[in-house]
Chain A
Amino acid sequence: MSRPEIEKLQLERLQKIVKHCMNSPFYKKRFDEINLKPEDIKCLDDLRKIPFTTKQDLRDTYPFGIASVPLEKCTRLHSSSGTTGNPTVILHTEKDLQEWAKAVARCLHMVGLRPSDVFQNSSGYGMFTGGLGFQYGAEHLGMLTVPAAAGNTKRQIKFITDFGTTALHAIPSYAARLHEVMEEMGIDPRKDTKLKTLIIGAEPHSEEQRRRIEDMLGVKAYNSFGMSEMCGPGVAFECTEQNGLHIWEDYYIVEIVNPDTLEPVAEGEVGELVLTTLNREAMPLLRYRTRDLTRVLPGECPCGRHHKRLDRMKGRSDDMIILKGVNIFPIQIETILLQFKELSTDYLITLETKESNDDMTIDVELNDMFTDDYGRLQSLAKEITRQIKDEILVTPHVRLVSKGSLPKSEGKAVRVKDLRKPF
């Protein structure tokens, strides 16, 4: 599909879905409140007249309040775990499930998978959408699909060798674990298995980690992006260029907004991903704030597809720090720190008010005492400071601390300590 074709289809579908949303008590009320009519959406830009939908809206209307069809028309429910407040529920009709399977199948087809492939899904099933989502998608494509689910590593490896698995879906850390156990069992993935494609996602990982896993297993590994609010997997997927994830624009309208002002960011800039579903029946979402940070990669993809490419997710908008009027995401700092092999992976960002000024201190752990020279330690701290300043435009105070002295990185919360006084 060419750009004009995509946009024409998007407008048709948008107008249709907005009309359909008026069956939802939630959206009906939202539109009535601002006196907006479905007929007011005359071009794609009119999308911006529609208010955002947030995760909080999903919680507030728990469990079925946003649905645009009666419950008896629905055939599936997925729910996300609610660590804070109500969980969220997503409903699907039979048609939604078919469309979802088609979208996942399209992703898998894009990376070269065909009916002759054997697809092993080593992902959690149940409420977690990565299980059933890939199951139905792989079956729709016509592959022999093995619902291996997660865990029992030796059995997974037996499936891989016995069934001639060519494609595997697993989170990156589990793929690394499979390799470890293969080694223990004396299995060489290149010689003793037919593995060639790995689908990874759901767990943050660096480009370097991806390359390492590809190298270990002798496969090509592709990133997948999805979220339960948007069905699950199948929203965006890497093509064989492995540079950005094509998002299916006949299914979604993509907006990138500044999480602070909610205004669109300039082309190619990082912001919060906002998605409008175009062909969901049971529970369409209009301008849903995903809270995921990314950007649209500029330029055409060499693969020839015209669907926009999203950069890898750069963290969550909830993690955003505003310092001296600048929006900063911890992931920007983390990415820089990861490049210094002298440092461990733990760090702590402390924000303080010093002489009525906002001040940022970054504690970084020295991995090893690589020198006996003060000068070298000081120039290391200086180099880290310089690179971070180039990235975030604020000069932090970088402090070297001993190995093991920082809290371990279990939750994101411990990475940032905000001690600033409200004024």
Chain B
Amino acid sequence: MTTTTVAAATEYVVQLRRISKRFGGVHALREVDLELRRGEIMGIVGDNGAGKSTLMKILSGAYVADEGEIWVNGRKVRIRNPQDSARLGIAMIYQDLALFNNFDVTKNIFIGRELTRGPMGLVLDKKRMYRETQELIRELKVDIKSPRQNVASMSGGQRQMVACARAIAFKSTILIMDEPTAALGVTEANKLLGLIRNLADKGISILLITQRIPDVLAIADRVFVLKGGERQGVLDVGKVTLDDVVTLIVRGKDRAGEAPGDVMYKSFG
């Protein structure tokens, strides 16, 4: 697929082309391609250490790729740091939640892009920040009681929702989430998945890393499978079963088609 036309290219909000990344001797990513469509939820799956977080961190500017290109909205871009990525409308919600336990919800949402007033924007516009947070809580129907609640006192699900609200507050159009449901109970996880589906329906494109394949099958449009830092394939959620996905994760693209017993034997051999 080297001959993409311009029209076809802009169908994608994000294109990663032949992305490679090494950490010393570890080849975390090898020439990975990824295409994300507007308003879709793409699940990113793979075993521990497959390179999921690394790939997404390259898009969010937390890491810089050794090789490869990033295209956003049909334009080739350079993402050297989180600011570059934010300017392109990309927001990442980290696995190790990047929240401030010494701050309330509002400050967590606005830190780094504070609303100000007065000459030279000298004074924090606290009133507006608290009001907008209140509105955001209502709009997203999230389970947070007050914009003044301290995040240190929140459950994992609530904390994820604060992180989502932060991304939405800044009109991010591409949202990356790294195992958001990993530490959540069933009820909270479902609430969060509902919120994610909600956001996608509003036109936000979402990359969702997860180990929970059923979650992906429930809300994603497509699933991207990584193994050993290499792309194994992209599956349409409507056309595959849980087994298909798991098989691809475990065996990789080259052996996914082989007879089950046979491959099980080989893969553990």
Q: Do A and B bind each other?
A: no
